[in-house]
Chain A
Amino acid sequence: AQSVTQLGSHVSVSEGALVLLRCNYSSSVPPYLFWYVQYPNQGLQLLLKYTSAATLVKGINGFEAEFKKSETSFHLTKPSAHMSDAAEYFCAVNQNTGFQKLVFGTGTRLLVSP
């Protein structure tokens, strides 16, 4: 079964600093990968997704992620953190079952300090 591993349950950055949230996947076939964000007391919303069209994927709110097959990684980055980026971020992989059956990582909480 496919899975994703998110390194670091918490990441702290200062406002204006680079954001890097790590995600590694395990898959024997090219996967479809997703990043979702969850703001406090809300449901998840899609940030971006990798569908094999391009290895560098741009998402909403200035986030992007790069698919690296050699490293089995799909890390999420943002050049300059904003206070409003404080949230929990989930990486997910599609199990390739013919429809979107996602397996989520355990999440990384991003803390942004002024």
Chain B
Amino acid sequence: DAGITQSPRYKITETGRQVTLMCHQTWSHSYMFWYRQDLGHGLRLIYYSAAADITDKGEVPDGYVVSRSKTENFPLTLESATRSQTSVYFCASSGTGMVETQYFGPGTRLLVL
């Protein structure tokens, strides 16, 4: 199906473990984004990518790693998960331009014990 998908939808892990969240879009959008959503903070940008092999930090990048070897995929890795990384993670994609609509995936709910 066309659109933007995330996997897994739910994940429970333990502190210190590595976790990778997957994001896939079928529109061939240039830009992709990772956000985390926490109560009282709204959505905060973790990393974004302008194209394959081009990534940059957002507002809260510490503890996260991203890669983008293909236009359609943008995985987010927590190298050593911490309890403070318990959150809901959203991936989004958009075309180029400052008024392009960002299209969001359904989210991944991550619990770090």
**Residues on A facing B (Cβ under 8 Å):** 9, 32, 36, 41-46, 49, 51, 90, 94, 96, 98-107
Task: Confirm or deny: B12 has a beta carbon within 8 angstroms of a beta carbon on chain A.
Answer: no
Task: Confirm or deny: B100 has a beta carbon within 8 angstroms of a beta carbon on chain A.
Answer: yes
**Residues on B facing A (Cβ under 8 Å):** 4, 31, 35, 40-45, 48, 50, 58, 90, 92, 94, 96-107
Contacts A/B (CB < 8 Å), 5 sampled: A9-B40, A44-B92, A99-B98, A102-B102, A104-B44
Report whether A44 and B97 are in contact in the complex, using a CB–CB cutoff of 8 Å.
no
- In this complex, what residue of B is CB-closest to A43? B104
Report whether A106 and B106 are in contact in the complex, using a CB–CB cutoff of 8 Å.
no
Report whether A100 and B104 are in contact in the complex, using a CB–CB cutoff of 8 Å.
no
A98 to B30, CA, bound (A): 13
Report whether B102 and A104 are in contact in the complex, using a CB–CB cutoff of 8 Å.
no
Residues of A within 8 A of B35 (CB): 104
A61 to B100, CA, bound (A): 20
Give chain A nearest CB distance to B52 CB in angstroms: 16
Known: A44-B43, A99-B96, A100-B100; 4 extra A-B contacts, CB below 8 A, are A42-B107, A43-B90, A43-B105, A100-B102
Residues of B within 8 A of A32 (CB): 98-99
Partner pick for A49 among B45, B48, B101, B103, CB 8 A cutoff? B101
A39 to B90, CA, bound (A): 14
Partner pick for A42 among B40, B48, B106, CB 8 A cutoff? B106
Give chain A nearest CB distance to B58 CB in angstroms: 8
A99 to B50, CA, bound (A): 9
